Amino acid sequence: GDFLGRDSDEFKNKENELRKKKFEKLKLEVQSKGIKSSSEYKKLAARNKWTAYNTLIDKPEWKGLGDFLGRDSDEFKNKENEFKNKENELRKKKFEKLKLEVQSKGIKSSSEYKKLSSQNKWITYDTLKGMPEWSGLDDFFGRQKEKAPDADISA
């Protein structure tokens, strides 16, 4: 064996522990800087004296980019959900505001909306129809739905 003892299990265990600690330290540093992608990591690696990305992904500690950047943590997922909820609320408010504006201008058809949408800086009609809030032309334009004739024709 190696006269310095580098073949011993004890040495290999200490070496593994040191590698794991260095990896965890790097992972925390990267997460604290708020890095969101591998390309962002690659841009900053040399300047920050971090392990090269291609070397990093070959480490036994590597569990994927999401884990490394902290995107797999519950805290991250909670923040992401909060953000999505706020985004949804904002979209709903914008939709309702647009709906009221369109109704207040007396617009009653999609062709009328399409004609006026660019000068009013409204979202396109196709985008509008694809929104989760969309529930049809009558609702959006504030039109009264035609009542279906009663099926009960008892004399």
Q: What is the DSSP string of 138-153?
A: HHHHTPPPPPPPPS--
pLDDT tens-digit profile of 91-106? 999 999 999 999 999 9
Query: In this model, does residue 90 exceed pLDDT 90?
Result: yes
Q: Three-class SS of residue 47?
A: coil
pLDDT classification of 154: cutoffs 50, 70, 90 = low
C-alpha 129/C-alpha 125 separation (Å) is 6
Q: Tell how far CA 103 is from the center of its chain.
A: 32
DSSP class of 134: -
